[in-house]
Structure 1
Amino acid sequence: MRKASLSLDQVPEAVGRWCSHLGLQVTTATVPSGDEELFPNRIVIDGPDAHWLAANKGMALDALQFLVHEAQGEREEHRQAYLDVQSFRLFRMKEIVAMAQFAAEKARSLGSYTFASLSPRERRWVHLVLAREPGFTTESEGTGTFKALKVSRV
């Protein structure tokens, strides 16, 4: 593990400072996601310029997220900060949870269900949601960052 230099408590202030250096007027605050197992340590970025971070499918938000994780030096899920703008990621988490529940119903009746390509974070959400329901196994399939995910009835 790399040495952590930015603590979880310091992340909101650091993100606000970095955005200010980019000329963005934003505020940051720690806001619970409602499901801390799936989306822990949610840092919400708001303000008149926050929408720029969500543009282009959140590419700038992803880049800023990468910098936060690098600055934190942490690789443990429960210690990393996760950024959100305009509930962009919170909405996606809820969408993936609903999709996981749909996949469970399909796997229950058909034996299995396979998701198209999902990001590592999205696959993790599906794995965690279906781990809460007995009788299912999940397995990522393929190579690369974006992989399919198969849900099977046990």
Structure 2
Amino acid sequence: MGLSHVNRQGEANMVDVSDKAVTAREAIAQGTLLLSQEAFAEVSENRAAKGDVLAAARIAGIQGAKQCANLIPLCHPLALSKVDITFEFDAVTPSIVVQCRCKLKGQTGVEMEALTGVNVALLTLFDMCKAVDPNMTMTGIHVLEKRGGKTGDWQHGNR
């Protein structure tokens, strides 16, 4: 199949989607922040010195998804109809799993927007918690699933 963002001369170019059908499209991306018990407790109990960490990360993730085309050079600017950021806590690890779901009706997928949303939310969590735990690790960032478009539905792990 080849790389879609490289033309026959090997030059980077924006894919022409003008002939593609407008369809409902959705993507969910996920990533995990591994952090200390102390930082985990501050976030999960909403007692961080900087304020509501989850609210800030949620808004940042939504904004990140909306700004994807300004950050990734060959992405199309998309009119997202929904961006949803969710958090799942695992006290055993301790970790916070962040998911970003993006939806629209359009001519191209929203995987990059979902990945950007997850990354910006994770970066915001890191920024707001780094005074307590500078050793945090962001890991496992991937597209979990996508729906719609020419290639249809897909889930991580199905190759």
Q: TM-score, normalised by structure 2?
A: 0.32
Q: Which has the higher strand share?
A: 2
